[in-house]
Structure 1
Amino acid sequence: MTPQTTHVFHRHLHTTLPVAVSGRGVTITDSQGRQYIDASGGAAVSCLGHGHPDVLAAMHAQIDRIAYAHTSFFTTEVAEALADDLIAHAPTGMSHAYFVSGGSEAVEAALKMARQYFVEIGQPQRSHFIARRQSYHGNTLGALAVGGNQWRRAQFAPLLMDVTHVSPCYEYRDRRPDETAEQYGQRLVLELAQAIDRLGGENVIAFVAETVVGATAGALTPVPGYLKGVRDLCDRHGILLILDEVMCGMGRTGTLHACEQEGVVPDLMTIAKGLGGGYQPIGAVLAQKRIVDTFAKGSGLFQHGHTYLGHAVACAAALAVQQVIRRDDLLAACRRQGEGLANRLQQRLGEHPHVGDLRGRGLFRGIELVRDRATKTPFDPALRLHARIKREAMTRGLMVYPMGGTIDGQQGDHVLLAPPFTVSEADLDAIVDRLAQAIDAALASTHA
């Protein structure tokens, strides 16, 4: 479809998109017969790849039983089974799952859940959220407000609630030469403590953070001890910790929940993309028992809701995805293939004059591009290097997830990789080879 013939209100109105007609494994095929390796899982969604027979069978079986029942009238067996499954493998103390249709909805629900919790316990003066710059939490107004993606926020800023943003954990750019990684992390915790003191700890609802930062800054991992320091600080002031694992969670970093690797348990956690693997739109908030008990003993009602909460077919797809991941030991595969991807990236791009940083965990990897490695100077944003890389990758049959504004919303370019957990060694070879070619072609085009 061309921009002149489509009636779909596409994200970009001046581009012609290929038409996806089929998907199998790591490959998507378009209407012209061209095939693309899905090295980004769309947007870190397709953890099992495309067309997995077990997930399709579970969806078909659920449709034959019941596709939809509104949650103000009914629950369903499959929603109950999915919640049981998630809580059985959740961080300590999590007792309930609140199902929604995606990541933005999950974050929005978590924000409202956190606010209502304090109303229920008689602390209605708590009305402020603290989050981080260079984060992304979704595109609803609440999620956009706590997010720190300046490009997405800019034109909607007058509509957004006031949120205090502190520094991201961005070791490559912000750790000083005289600091250890641990010292850098403690400096960030101190900055958060000072923000809390300015606001008054008794006025803060929650601190919101991606465990591993995704789209906005490209697989930024926390330094050792940072999130533990944040957890302790929140506990000291009675502030909730909301960890956003919409992109980095559900196995993407090599453990089911990314926070497992930090030894930290949040009060509320949002999940989505890898939950259903793209087979149906689904997300969830996982909530600590004491929060749910407070609602139960108080109003008995979470004053929130959407039409498609707990959609039966979505729950069936998500349950099947999680069962396949466990049955086929795909968390171990994610760790193993993640190391293989990291090694290949290091071998091919580690000494590249315009690759400043290779980072990430599991099958969640970021490549930051720089004009000068020694000074870490970024490319001129006007070049739109990230967009050039995406275009060159697509011409080579490769899907990657590049983004600009990595550093401050304007400057910086990175590429995010998030292939399916089922990716093969040969797939990894092809991904890195095609990506390296795309990067070099994009760089060459900036001099044309």
Structure 2
Amino acid sequence: MTHILHRAANANMPVAVGGKGIELFDQNGNSYIDASGGAAVSCLGHGHPDVIAALHKQLDKLAYAHTGFFTTEVAEQLADRLVETAPEGIDHVYLVSGGSEAIEAALKMARQYFVEKGEPQRRHIIARRQSYHGNTLGALATGGNAWRRAQFRPLLIETHHIDPCYAYRWQEPGESDADYAARAAQGLEDKILELGPDQVIAFVAETVVGATSGAVPPVADYFKRIRAICDRYGVLLILDEVMCGMGRTGTLHACEQDGVAPDLMAIAKGLGGGYQPVGATLLSNKIFEAFSRGSGFFQHGHTYMGHPMAAAAGLAVQEVIQRDH
């Protein structure tokens, strides 16, 4: 009998006792090829010696210090690395424990940004149907999967959804990629105008869609058009690269291949490779400056944000990815 509420309430789960490379091992000696790296997490496989060594080293120094009172060398080093390799304009990092937390933080940063700027009337979030942004209430409200949202709908903030850029389902016969990208992006401008250009906070999208539609890349110059529309109306662009980022598409950030930079970006999964729970919200200078010159603080926080062990894992994983290409 288990006292854990597993994802499936009546599940009889094998007990994992070890892992090496692409394999996991259970208590009965069975081995399993971890072909998808768990939930697209274990980008370096299991038991990587360099990451384990880094975790041992950090544990011998310091396991925890509250970020309301202290910073740590390893958290600062990870933030430096992430800014160094980030899209243009990103210059600060908010370290959290996973992807849902990173999205929640991005949504709240986006709202507070406009409050700090003297535009508190902005309240609308636009995202896409058949998207997935996490399971906390703000992230779930932003995501566009009707089944996941249904029973929690009375608890969710109001959000708005447009069609995804999904050529397999939505591109018309004979329509060029460029024309389809323009039509798909136009859905965002239409929704902004419908809601009121001075009422919209942000547009949220997975650069490459992950869990809900399958692996769906953007078409042609779709994201360049999206970036231009956001700029035209002063709307923030939040890119969710929790699943598709940190090297998974061949560049560290998927949006590099689209030639765009977001105002806010959520990363996790491949950031720490499963060695610790870690995620981050990357924010542009204009977001930071609004906080710095305004109230002076971001009204948010978690007990384990910037955790030294999590930062050590993230830093070690990123060093291995860079070193080993």
Equivalent residue number for residue 155 of structure 2: 159
- Residue of structure 2 aligned with 1:198, choices 187, 194, 198: 194
1:53 partner amino acid? P
Which one of 294, 304, 314 corresponds to residue 308 of structure 1? 304
CA distance in 2, matches of 1:114, 1:191: 21
Is the counterpart of residue 170 in structure 1 residue 202 in structure 2? no
Residues of 1 paired with 2:147 and 2:234: CA distance? Answer: 32
SS at match of 1:285: strand
Within 5 A, what are the aligned runs for 1:127-142?
127-142=123-138
Paired position in structure 2 for 1:220:
216
Q: Is residue 178 of structure 2 the alignment partner of residue 182 of structure 1? A: yes
Unaligned runs of 5+ in 2: none
Residue 178 of structure 1: how far off its partner (Å): 2.2
Deviations 1:322-357 (A, max 9, x none): 00001111xxxxxxxxxxxxxxxxxxxxxxxxxxxx
Deviates more, 1:58-67 or 1:184-193: 184-193
Match status 1:50 vs 2:46:
yes
Residue type at the aligned position of 2:18: S
Aligned match of 1:323 in 305, 311, 319?
319
Structure number with the bigger relative contact order (C-alpha 8 A, sep ≥ 6) is: 2
List per-residue Cα deviations over 1:285-342 (Å, max 9, x = no partner). Answer: 000011101110000100000000100000001000000001111xxxxxxxxxxxxx
Structure 1 residue 96 displacement after superposition? 0.5
Q: Which residue of 2 aligns with 1:255?
A: 251
Q: How far does residue 15 in structure 1 lie from its aligned partner after superposition?
A: 2.1
Please state how far the C-alpha of 1:67 moved relative to its aligned partner: 0.4
Identity %: 67
**TM-score, normalized by length of structure 2?**
0.99
Equivalent position SS for 1:193: helix
Query: C-alpha distance in 2, partners of 1:13/1:164?
Result: 32
Q: State the alpha-carbon separation in 2 of the partners of residues 151 and 43 from structure 1.
A: 19
- Deviant stretches of 4+, over 2 Å: none
Residue-by-residue CA offset, 1:22-59 (whole Å, 9 max, x unaligned): 11001111111111111111011001000000000000
Structure 1 vs Structure 2 CA RMSD:
0.6
- 2:96 is the alignment partner of 1:100: yes
For the pair 1:298 / 2:286, whether they are aligned, the reply is no
Say yes or no: does 1:126 pair with 2:122: yes
The DSSP-based 3-state class of the residue aligned with 1:202 is coil
Residue equivalent to 1:60: 56
Residue 65 of structure 1 deviates from its aligned partner by 0.4
Say if 2:109 is the partner of 1:113.
Answer: yes
TM-score, normalised to structure 1's length? 0.72
1:255-281 CA distances to partner (integer Å, 9 max, x unpaired)? Answer: 100000100100000000000000000
Q: Secondary structure at the match of 1:270?
A: strand
Residue 12 (structure 2) aligns with: 16
State the alpha-carbon separation in 2 of the partners of residues 290 and 190 from structure 1: 26
Amino acid in structure 2 at the alignment position of 1:260: E
Task: Give how far 1:241 is off.
Answer: 0.1
**Aligned counterparts of 1:192 and 1:72: Cα–Cα separation in 2:** 38
2:284 paired residue among 284, 288, 296: 288
Find 1:266's aligned residue among 245, 258, 262.
262
- Equivalence map 1:24-39=2 (5 Å): 24-39=20-35
Q: Confirm or deny that 1:90 pairs with 2:93.
A: no
Higher mean C-alpha displacement, 30-39 vs 245-254? 30-39
Letter in 2 for 1:22: G
SS at match of 1:254: coil
- Distance in 2, Cα, partners of 1:71 & 1:326: 28
| Gaps in structure 1 of 5+ consecutive residues | 330-448
Aligned residues: 325
Aligned-pair distance for 1:6?
A: 0.4
- 1:150: how far off? 1.6
Rounded Cα–Cα distance in structure 2 between residues aligned with 1:15 and 1:298: 50
Provide the rounded CA distance (Å) in 2 between the counterparts of 1:125 and 1:115: 10
Distance 2:11 2:76 in 1: 43
Deviation at 1:90, TM superposition (A): 0.4
Q: Find the counterpart in structure 2 of residue 382 from structure 1.
A: none
Residue aligned with 1:29, SS: strand
**Paired position in structure 1 for 2:141:** 145
